[in-house]
């Protein structure tokens, strides 16, 4: 018997470090050594829309109940990546790991294959570090 896997992808978020009044504050991403904007005025978005990205996640992630997830009705993970000023995705990473490595690889593949519209600050395209919290829950 197969269980249904629900995927909850929380709204898009960006790493921020408190309420600062400085616009376009930049930090150095330690994984890529790329400068990223901490608080852009406009976040990067998937060119085909957020709903299309979520549908692609669901399409790519088809997991049957296995010993890895039985008895663990919920998995949580956070993926991160940088959307560059030109819309290119770099520095894909798992911020909060899941024991389902195959799942992590598929999620990162979807992110890297998605075309992105740049984030902006002061009317300039900027690099932005994005984080996606994801929760997977087996239906009962």
DSSP H helices in the chain: 50-60, 101-113
Q: Is the pLDDT of residue 13 over 60?
A: no
Give the pLDDT of residue 8: 55
Give the integer Cα–Cα distance in Å for 138 and 33.
38
Give the pLDDT of residue 67: 41
> What average pLDDT does this structure show over 80-85?
96
Q: Is the pLDDT of residue 117 over 90?
A: yes
Please state the pTM of the whole predicted model: 0.76
> What average pLDDT does this structure show over 56-75?
62
Residues 6+ apart with CB under 8 A from 93: 31, 79, 80, 81, 108
Give the pLDDT of residue 139: 58
Give the integer Cα–Cα distance in Å for 97 and 124.
33
Give the pLDDT of residue 11: 44
More confident residue, 7 or 111: 111
């Amino acid at each position: 018997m197969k269980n249904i896997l629900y995927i909850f992808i929380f709204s898009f978020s960006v790493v921020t470090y408190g309420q600062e009044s400085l616009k376009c504050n930049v930090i150095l991403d330690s994984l890529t050594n790329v400068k990223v904007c901490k608080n852009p005025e406009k976040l990067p978005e998937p060119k085909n829309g957020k709903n299309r990205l979520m549908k692609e996640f669901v399409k790519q992630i088809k997991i049957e109940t296995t010993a890895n997830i039985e008895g663990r009705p919920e998995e949580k993970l956070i993926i991160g990546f940088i959307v560059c000023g030109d819309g290119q995705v770099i520095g894909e990473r798992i911020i909060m790991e899941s024991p389902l490595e195959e799942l992590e690889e598929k999620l990162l593949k979807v992110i890297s294959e998605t075309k992105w519209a740049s984030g902006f600050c002061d009317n300039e395209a900027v690099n932005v570090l994005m984080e996606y919290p994801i929760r997977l829950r087996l239906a009962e």
